[in-house]
Amino acid sequence: MLKQLFFIIILISLLSFSCKKKTNPLILFFSPNTLSYNKHPNDVLKLEVIGSSDNNLTKFIIKTCKENDYSTTILDTNITGDKISYTLEYQLPYYTDTTRIILEFILYDNSGDKTTAAISVTLFPQDILLTETSGHEMFSHSSVKYDAYNLSTGLPLHSETADSAVMHIADFTSDTLTPNTLSRKWVSYAGNKFVRFTDFNYPNATFQILKNSYNAGIKNNFMDNIQEGDIILTKIGNQAIDSGYVAIKVLMVIDQDSSDFDRYIFSIKK
């Protein structure tokens, strides 16, 4: 009888143990449920990262790297609770060649466990033809007309009243020394640098050609001795951002007896 009772107790214990709820693992997944993408440089990758654990979550990390290269952490944040839903909007880097990058996601909980998941993105460079606008005019600083230019908007400005941050080019004719002689000199109150590139392939210019030509050229704080037919390259904005390149073709330089109608006529490609 005692042996039977002992057997029953052991059996109940085993059944009780087997009926206990199993612990859910630490999990991490994506929406959409895609693990590889084909994109172009500078595209924005958007996805939802979802994770959970029976324990409290503590940390969430996102790393990125070029395939077979060192990784860079783009997010490292402490979290609480047992669930996470994070919307990633990541501007993909720029490479001139087809390149595969890896995004790794790491989730930790307070039991010391972690889980990782990764997606790959293949970047295919996309070179595009530039868009040209023509008929732009910038007058002498000694005139009463527009003597500066916003290359982003393609609109002329008065240097006396415009914000210096948007005066990408401006005429540098002196009001007092030689007011009736066009200086043929441009400066940038916005901080642009200039590259004179006579052999630049302006008719067939693409973004990549423009970018490479500007980056390879000798950069100057001003551009003087401007002549008809000159090709002047510049870059608007932050030098670290891979955009804002502009090619300017000088069509005419008009220097009359007075300063009223002294001006440059040019076209822009960007």
Domains of the chain, first to last: 25-123 (2.60.40.2550), 132-269 (no CATH)
How far apart CA 232 and CA 214 sit, in angstroms, is 9
Model confidence over 130-189: pLDDT tens digits? 999 999 999 999 999 999 999 999 999 999 999 999 999 999 998 878 888 999 999 999
User: Would you say the pTM of this structure is higher than 0.75?
Assistant: no
Model confidence over 69-106: pLDDT tens digits? 999 999 999 999 999 999 999 999 988 778 999 999 99
Angle value at C-alpha 40, between 124 and 153, nearest 5 degrees = 130
Model confidence over 219-240: pLDDT tens digits? 999 999 999 999 999 999 877 6
Higher per-residue pLDDT: 157 or 257 = 157
Higher per-residue pLDDT: 2 or 211 = 211
Q: Which residues lie across from 185 on neighbouring strands?
A: none
How far apart CA 231 and CA 198 sit, in angstroms, is 6
Place of tokens 């996805």: 47
Q: What is the mean pLDDT of the chain?
A: 89
How far apart CA 156 and CA 149 sit, in angstroms, is 4
